[in-house]
Amino acid sequence: MTSGPARFALASPENRPLLDVQDVGIAFGGLKAVNGFSLQLPERSLYGLIGPNGAGKTTVFNLLTGVYRPDRGGIRLARHDLTGRKPHEITLAGVARTFQNIRLFGEMSVLDNVRLAAQLRRSVGALSTFFRGPRFHRCEADLRDRALELLDVMELRGDADAPARSLSYGHQRRLEIARALATRPKVLLLDEPAAGMNPQEKQSLAKLIESLPERFELSVLLIDHDMGLVMKVCRKITVLDHGEIIAVGPPDRIQNDPNVIAAYLGEPTPDA
């Protein structure tokens, strides 16, 4: 966290976005899953990405994190060009994500799930692993402390030693966020973090997401089907339908946008 915003701000002028996505597209066979997608994510912002089922939201995440290589367009994070990079390189550059269909390391303990993500920029060789010198122990202790800190934030510390698959659904979603945060991202992509949560859980999740940009000095890009959550949390929203952007703007404008309403309620047929 010491690679602070001050230094960062010097490197990138105010008007330059942290994450800059320009005209990205991908097709599967004949289907254009995402077409001409652009997005400018400022620093420490909360940004929403919504759209009906199958609109291509998760595909956008997969493009941003390198799971799919875009057919065209470019992705930049600050000064790094991320277009076509491998997923782990993109994570290293500072883009972390959660998954819509939770993907935790089920057999590993909750602590180890986070610790694994925290070890990203700290490597220990095989020999050091065998001899376990002071360096090894210091590194492991640091990782543990950092992981426990994040578990505290997510109120998961009590479960630190439990295997991840034994957690409840809501806790698993929170653990995914903790794990993503442990990679020290500059941009955090949350894919339906509120899915399957009850109203209370959703409320505390909303509070948590709102606190993330200041606390961890990052920007959040949020996908969710809970419009209440997205409208409440995000300052700006992009709406996707059939892989194309149909609206961009602050929540109150989006709520009243006729295109968006049509996309969600279905097109009124001419005869009707």
Alpha carbons 197 and 25: distance in angstroms, whole number: 32
Which residue, 31 or 262, has its beta carbon nearer to other proteins? 31
Contacting range for other proteins; rule: CB under 8 A; set: 41-49, 114-122, 226-234, 248-256 = 114-122
State which of residues 16, 22, 32, 108 lies at the interface with other proteins (CB under 8 A). 108
Q: Contact letters (x/-) for other proteins, 116-135, by CB under 8 A? A: xx-xx-xxx-x--xxxxxx-
State which of residues 34, 73, 82, 97 lies at the interface with other proteins (CB under 8 A). 97
Minimum CB separation from other proteins for residue 90, in Å?
Answer: 9
Alpha carbons 229 and 159: distance in angstroms, whole number: 27
182 binds other proteins (CB under 8 A): yes
The DSSP line for 85-118 is --HHHHHHHTEEE--SS----TTSBHHHHHHHHH
Helical pair 169-182 and 110-118, crossing angle rounded to 10 deg: 20
208 within 8 A of 22, measured Cβ to Cβ: no
In terms of DSSP H, where are the helices of the chain?
Answer: 5-11, 57-64, 87-93, 110-118, 126-131, 134-153, 169-182, 199-216, 227-233, 251-255, 258-265
67 binds other proteins (CB under 8 A): yes
Q: Which residues here bind other proteins, judged by CB under 8 A?
A: 28, 58, 62, 65, 67, 86-88, 91-92, 96-97, 99, 103-108, 111-112, 115-117, 119-120, 122-124, 126, 129-134, 136-141, 143-145, 148-149, 152-153, 155, 157-158, 160-161, 179-180, 182-183
